[in-house]
Amino acid sequence: DIVMTQSPDSLAVSLGERATINCKSSQSVLYSSNNKNSLAWYQQKPGQPPKLLIYWASTRESGVPDRFSGSGSGTDFTLTISSLQAEDVAVYYCQQYYSSPFTFGPGTKVDIK
Amino acid sequence: EVQLVESGGDLVQPGGSLRLSCAASGFTFSSYAMSWVRQAPGKGLAWVSVISGSGGTTYLADSVKGRFTISRDNSKNTLYLQTNSLRAEDTAVYYCARGSGATNTALDYWGQGTLVTVSP
């Protein structure tokens, strides 16, 4: 099974500042048939289901603000919120969909400093 | 508008069974793989199972293999999760989520979830 880890566990960032979340997979999730990384990022606010933000490691889902961006390849990935807004307070999860079981990372909680 | 509505969650004793359902609307159901993801109280997300659009391909997490079965009825636009031999550690909110055509894709729409509580 591919194990997903995230760092930090939590972070507090001032409004308008940058937030960076890291995700690491225990093996490469690069899908050879399209040369894309099978890595997604989700945002979950309290009492709500998760929401897809980013797929193929760097493709923003329709309607997601452009302050959210994803990067990385192979085993190391990053979600960046370029200018944190109050509505971005949430837990963020990465997930690999390269091979079953399609494991999630443990989550990173983002708060306002 | 894509909608996914789960139902069937309940309080059940250890060793019991439940069938969870997910009614889908707003898209061509048979064209999309569908997944179940669960979240224990206060914990993170845990992937449970996926089924291809045709129903011909399924995968299950090791923690539920032999106890849970995923299925779908494309004529009813409904996804199911049959849960047997339930344990306390199966207590969670169970979400259904839509993938794309293949089983290995990101999950772009999620339901609100249904709560399964396993307790004496």
Quick: pLDDT tens for A48-88. Answer: 999 999 999 999 999 999 999 999 999 999 999 999 999 99
C-alpha–C-alpha distance, residues B9 and B28, integer Å: 25
Distance in Å, alpha carbon of B24 to nearest chain A alpha carbon:
16
CB A59 within 8 A of CB A13: no
Please name the residue of chain B whose CA is at the shortest distance from the CA of residue A106.
Answer: B44
Q: Which of B104, B109, B114, B115 to mutate to test the interface with A (most CBs of A within 10 A)?
A: B104
Q: What is the pLDDT of residue A11?
A: 97
Q: What is the pLDDT of residue B100?
A: 74
For residue B67, the cross-strand partners are none
Distance spanning both ends of chain B, measured CA to CA: 40
Q: What is the pLDDT of residue B51?
A: 96
The residue type of B85 is: S
Chain A neighbors of B49, CB-CB under 8 A? none
For residue B3, the cross-strand partners are B25
Q: What is the mean pLDDT of chain A?
A: 97
Answer whether B59 sits within 8 Å of A49, measured CB to CB: no
Q: Measure Cα distances from A96 to A2, A9, A72, B15, B68 in Å.
A: 8, 18, 13, 31, 22
Distance in Å, alpha carbon of B39 to nearest chain A alpha carbon:
10
Residue A61: both structure tokens together: 């889902």
C-alpha–C-alpha distance, residues A91 and A21, integer Å: 11
Residue A17 has pLDDT above 90, yes or no: yes
pLDDT by residue for chain B (120 residues), tens only, comes to 999 999 999 999 999 999 999 999 999 999 999 999 999 999 999 999 999 999 999 999 999 999 999 999 999 999 999 999 999 999 999 999 999 768 889 999 999 999 999 999
β-strands A108-112, A90-96: how paired? antiparallel
Q: What is the pLDDT of residue A66?
A: 97
Query: Maximum Cα–Cα distance for chain B, whole Å?
Result: 41
Residue B92: Cβ-neighbour burial (10 angstroms; 0-12, 13-18, 19+): buried
Nearest to residue B92, comparing CAs of B44, B28, B35?
A: B44
A106 upstream amide cis, omega within 30 of 0: no
Output b/e per residue, B24-47; b: 16+ Cβ within 10 A.
Answer: beeeebeebbbbbbbbeeeeebbb
CB A50 within 8 A of CB A34: no
Scan for tokens 């993938």, then name that residue: B99
The torsion region of residue B42 among left (phi > 0), alpha (psi -120 to 50) and beta comes to left
- CB-nearest to A102 from B104, B109, B111 is B104
Q: Which of A23, A102, A109 to mutate to test the interface with B (most CBs of B within 10 A)?
A: A102
Please name the residue of chain A whose CA is at the shortest distance from the CA of residue B58.
Answer: A100
